[in-house]
Amino acid sequence: MEVLKKSVMFLALVLLLALMLNNGAGALAKNHDVGGDQGWDVSTDFGSWASSTTFRVGDQLVFTYTPGLHTVVELAGEKEYNKCDLSGALKSMSDGKSTVKLSKAGYRYFACGTMGHCQEGMKLKIKTLAANEVSDSNTSSSSPSSTAVTFNHPPHFISYVIFFMIFVVLLVL
């Protein structure tokens, strides 16, 4: 019985250590369908969509659109985003289903490269949070005016707590 107890404790410690080393990155990554059910289209309210979504490092944006009608252009910065200046684009995609990995924290800017679509509002600004960063309700430039802050624990924090509780219970047994 004592050998089984030690084996279970060792396994729990190994799992806890693996989770801590992974720091939750990648394991809980999400794919975000840009624009929700409407997709990447001129009729979509991207400001509302982005303000209701939390983006974290490791997540991916999935742009779904009609090739030939729309494209996805990643813009260099906020100035280009505000002016719909596509001339210095970092990347341009036109395959109809484009995926962008969010590899670092910070702001990213996207627009449709079809003439006039960006000016009609077919553009997206997102803020990518670090895996352990708390989100607030104002992560998008188009989000509704609000000062409320939501303190969400990062997803891996809850896993740490659960593993720690299991370890303590096993230690007491």
**How far, in Å, CA of 44 to CA of 49, rounded?**
8
Q: What is the pTM of this model?
A: 0.66
The pLDDT assigned to 144 comes to: 36
Whether residue 90 is found in the same domain as residue 134: yes
115 token code pair: 């003439």
Contacts of residue 80, defined as CB under 8 A and 6 or more positions apart, other chains included, come to 86, 88, 109
- Residue 125 sits in a domain whose CATH number is 2.60.40.420
pLDDT in tens, the chain (173 residues): 676 666 666 666 666 555 554 544 444 789 999 999 999 999 999 999 999 999 999 999 999 999 999 999 999 999 999 999 999 999 999 999 999 999 999 999 999 999 999 999 999 999 999 987 877 654 444 433 333 333 344 555 666 667 666 766 666 66
User: Quick one: which of 139, 66, 130, 126 has its CA closest to 100?
Assistant: 126
- Do 77 and 1 lie in a common domain? no
Q: Which domain holds residue 142?
A: 28-150
Cβ burial 133-147 (10 Å sphere, 16+ → b, else e): eebbeebbbebeeee
Whether 33 and 118 share a structural domain: yes
Residues 59 and 137 in one domain: yes
- Residues 72, 10 share a domain: no
Helices 2-22, 155-172: axis angle to 10 degrees equals 160
What domain count does the chain have? Answer: 2
